[in-house]
Amino acid sequence: MSRLEQLARDTWRIAPAGAMRVPGILYANAGLARAMDAKVFEQIVNVASLPGIVMASYAMPDAHWGYGFPIGGVAAFDPDQGGVISAGGVGFDISCGVRTLLTGLTRSDIEPHRERLADALFAAIPAGLGSTGRIHLRGGEMDDMLSGGAKWAVRQGYGRKEDLYYIEEGGCMAGALPGEVSDQARRRQRDEMGTLGSGNHYLEVQEVERIHDAAAAQAFGLREGDIVVSIHCGSRGLGHQIGTEFLRRMAMAAHQYGIHLPDRELACAPIRSPLGESYLGAMRAGINCALANRQILTHLARFAFESVLPQADLQVLYDVSHNTCKEEEHRVEGRSRRLFVHRKGATRALGAGHPELPPAYRDTGQPVLIGGSMGTASYILAGTPESEQSAFSSACHGAGRAMSRRKAAKQWNGRQVIDELTARGILIRSQSFRGVAEEAPGAYKDVSAVVNSAESAGLARKVAKVVPLVCVKG
């Protein structure tokens, strides 16, 4: 804390020193900042030393230690100033994100059927370490998926065309280069489409407990007592393999580009280099894989709901990723610049009026979907215009871990966690007791404190609080 200068109630600055090219900025209340591992501060400083970084190295209120970049880290790079792309600044689970679905149901509609619904979702949604689905992609099918994303999935019959209106990039990330995705990455993914995977991934049935912004909630289609479904997952084995391979290649090539790495985990390459362009093409293919995956899971969730509650109508509220690097236009020091914005464990949060937003959300700002843990609340926020200058239109992505998975597994028993949550009215379905222990609610920060800090800092504003009723856990 002695290195932090408090700029506002929930805004802190690390002054440039040593190799830092820009300051570090941390958004968090004093309690969250004080509780963060010192490694977070070290990583903020290290990111600030990378070539071509613009404005600052940012960290969100849910920040915790990650590989190279902190999870909850945001940094933008200018290719005209030697800016770099870092696989560690995107993360291994490329385009991990959250999709929230409206259902048209209320708590009273589902309550008599909740056990059956939990079982139907668990049967329909493949989840857990190494989980595989019923879709098996070969050859050209894989290329089509990596190029087409959720658009490809809809063409295959997984969902509706109107779903695409409420997904970032319209459901398909331009510039994907499937040829840059290795055979090993393809092999890992060929049987994993339409699966949750493990770790902190989930499908959750939630009740809207409280509305904070009535106008935005109306635009989002939310009312107190409504039932929504949130799906949190990413690009599975393919994304992890892309990250692993390119981190190795970037680390080996750093000296060729004259890049000094304060930490090998920050391996990177100039954006305008053959290696940088190869990674961007592969990463964009990984984004499309994640978008297609969440689209297929949406289709499977609709199937499960229909089998129990045929009156349900699952419509996409929004789908947003939080492990990406995107080329975007931002105003910096009074002029517009094309920058490559890394968001690792951070969510894009476009403010009202932004041209990339669906027309339905132009007056409110982008839905920002913040997941808690399986025993705590989650939040739906809206982006703010102020966030453009605060952190390149970025916000937090979840509660953020307070302890490692290994430590959590030693502290909690998975069966006991399930029983305790069941007693509170939260039904858990999981393939792994250990996985449940690793994701115990106590292993995470206080999501309300995280969200309140994001709102206080002007990154996004609260629209609705939702609480879990059923959780299918990866």
- Which tens digits make up the pLDDT trace of 211-231? 999 999 999 999 999 999 999
- Cα four-point dihedral sign 162, 165, 166, 169: positive
pLDDT at position 85, please? 98
**Do the Cβ atoms of 340 and 85 come closer than 8 Å?**
yes
Q: Is the pLDDT of residue 385 over 80?
A: yes
Residue 77 pLDDT grade (very low, low, confident, very high; cuts 50, 70, 90): very high
Residues 6 or more apart in contact with residue 169 via CB below 8 angstroms: 149, 287, 291
Percent of the chain with pLDDT over 70: 100
Query: What's the domain count of the chain?
Result: 1
Length of the chain: 474
Retrieve residue 332's tokens: 């910096």
**Do the Cβ atoms of 22 and 44 come closer than 8 Å?**
no
3-state secondary structure at position 415: helix
Q: Is the pLDDT of residue 130 over 80?
A: no
Instruction: Provide, for the chain, the percentages of residues in helix, strand and coil under a 3-state DSSP scheme, each rounded to the nearest 5.
Output: 40, 25, 35
- Catalytic status, residue 322: no
Phi and psi at residue 219, to the nearest 5° = -65, -35
Torsion angle (degrees, nearest 10) of CA 42, 45, 50, 55: 150
Residue 436 within any structural domain of the chain: no
Active-site residue (options: 64, 330, 342, 397) = 397
Residue 459 pLDDT grade (very low, low, confident, very high; cuts 50, 70, 90): very high
pLDDT at position 300, please? 97
Domain span at residue 326 reads 4-402+444-473
Q: What is the largest CA-CA distance in the chain?
A: 64
pLDDT at position 254, please? 93
Nearest by Cα to 75 from 95, 41, 52: 52
**Do the Cβ atoms of 65 and 258 come closer than 8 Å?**
no
Model confidence over 242-298: pLDDT tens digits?
Answer: 999 999 999 999 999 999 998 999 999 999 999 999 999 999 999 999 999 999 999
Residue 414 within any structural domain of the chain: no
Torsion angle (degrees, nearest 10) of CA 269, 274, 280, 285: -140
Phi and psi at residue 456, to the nearest 5° = -60, -35
Q: Is the pLDDT of residue 198 over 90?
A: no
Strand partners, 284: none
Residue 437 within any structural domain of the chain: no
Where do the H-state alpha helices sit in 190-273? 214-220, 236-253
Residue 171 within any structural domain of the chain: yes
Nearest by Cα to 60 from 468, 328, 449: 449
Mean pLDDT of the chain: 95
Whole-number Å distance between alpha carbons of 5 and 12: 5
Residue 131 pLDDT grade (very low, low, confident, very high; cuts 50, 70, 90): confident
Residue 138 within any structural domain of the chain: yes
Residue 438 within any structural domain of the chain: no
Phi and psi at residue 425, to the nearest 5° = 90, 15
Percent of the chain with pLDDT over 90: 92
The arithmetic mean of pLDDT across residues 134-153, rounded, is: 94
Beta-carbon neighbour count of residue 457 at 10 Å?
28
Model confidence over 81-95: pLDDT tens digits?
Answer: 999 999 999 999 999
Whole-number Å distance between alpha carbons of 4 and 109: 50
**Do the Cβ atoms of 441 and 399 come closer than 8 Å?**
no
3-state secondary structure at position 462: strand
Beta-carbon neighbour count of residue 398 at 10 Å?
28
Residue 394 within any structural domain of the chain: yes
- Which one-letter DSSP state was computed for residue 70? P
Strand extents, DSSP E, 42-83: 53-64, 71-77
Q: Specify the pTM.
A: 0.96
Retrieve residue 97's tokens: 């994100």
Q: 169-175: long-range contacts (C-beta < 8 A, 24 or more apart)?
A: 169/287, 169/291, 171/291, 171/295, 171/319, 172/147, 172/148, 172/288, 172/291, 173/149, 173/284, 173/287, 173/288, 173/291, 174/284, 175/280, 175/281, 175/284
Q: What is the CATH number of the domain that holds 296?
A: 3.90.1860.10
Residue 279 within any structural domain of the chain: yes
Retrieve residue 18's tokens: 């040593």
The arithmetic mean of pLDDT across residues 436-461, rounded, is: 95
Residues 6 or more apart in contact with residue 236 via CB below 8 angstroms: 93, 188, 189, 192, 195, 197, 289, 293
Q: How far is CA 382 from the centre of its chain?
A: 15
